Amino acid sequence: MDLRLNNKTKGILCIITSAFCFACMNTFVRMAGDLPSIQKSFFRNFVAVIFAAAMLMRTEEKFRFDKKNLPYLLIRAFFGTVGILGNFYAIDRLVLADASMLNKLSPFFAIIFSYFILKEKVSLIQAAAVVIAFIGALFIIKPTGVTFNTASLAGVMGGMGAGIAYTMVRVLSKRGERGAFIVFFFSAFSCITTLPFLIFDFHPMQWWQILSLLGAGLAATGGQFAITAAYSFAPAKEISVFDYTQIIFVALLGFTFFAEIPDAYSILGYFIITLVSVGMFFVNKKS
């Protein structure tokens, strides 16, 4: 197995791991109950800041970075924050699976922005796989049953923000920036920008809400490191389709904790996306 194929495989494994972590994060966010999305976002990123800072302190470079990468770090952090706020707003106001699926538009946006920003070519097979996976997602979302209200619009904006952010992760990785610093910069930026809103609109929390947000933060940290590693190993066009495995994880968690039972259309969507993911794996392995 050559190095290029090995990196693709690593990217696939990392992105599936991140999908599971983010599914857990969404579940914990819902469990936290009626709290402002900004407050949930702050605690989610505060945990990530601590973990990332601890990892950086153990390295020789500590918090040093290439100043030429600052514009890309800021773009990644800004749109990553937009993605989180949009996702959390949707999670609190839509069915968990619907909110998660709107956020899963991010790989679709990631491929678009990778094409225009990174000039990465997209093969016909890869493009078809993403389109089919997106069609599978529509079976789960069922657009006729999801009104285009503020919550659904926030979910779409969250997916777009995440797609741009992941594209910037790819740019930063190609420019030699460390994954731990990318996570730290984004999480610190998000905490700083949401702190003023938190101060003026803080809602007291019960112990179970604090535990839920800590769980969301831990899951998000794992997802952040995994997704950062994934897009550093391989381009979005080759691995982003595997991010749709989060649908399976969300469905299982939604059934376990919220008694949400998927209908026939959702099950069909799960089957389509899983089939495409497995097919893409073998196509990449063969090529």
Q: Is 223 helix (H, G, I), strand (E, B) or coil?
A: helix
- Cα–Cα distances (Å) from 287 to 118, 179, 207, 214, in that order, read 22, 27, 52, 42
Give the separation between CA 123 and CA 9, rounded to whole angstroms. Answer: 18
pTM of the model: 0.79
Q: Given a cut of 50, is residue 1 above it in pLDDT?
A: no
Q: What percent of the chain has pLDDT over 70?
A: 93
Per-residue pLDDT tens digits for 14-66: 999 999 998 999 999 999 988 998 999 998 889 889 988 999 999 888 999 98
What integer pLDDT is reported at residue 236 of this predicted model? Answer: 67
pLDDT exceeds 70 at position 245:
yes
Percent of all residues in the chain with a pLDDT value above 90, rounded to a whole number = 29
pLDDT in tens, 52-105: 899 999 988 899 998 999 999 999 999 999 999 999 998 888 778 778 877 877
Mean pLDDT of 230-238: 77
Rg (CA), the chain: 18
**Whether the predicted pLDDT of 147 surpasses 80:** no
Work out the average pLDDT over 217-221: 88
Confidence of residue 146 (pLDDT cuts 50, 70, 90): very low
The per-residue b/e assignment along 247-263, b for 16 or more CB within 10 angstroms, e otherwise, is bbbbbebbeeeeeeebe
**Rounded to the nearest 5°, which phi and psi values hold at 35?**
-125, 150
Count of structural domains, the chain: 1
Residue 5: predicted pLDDT: 55
Q: What is the pLDDT of residue 242?
A: 81
Structural domain including 220 reads 3-286
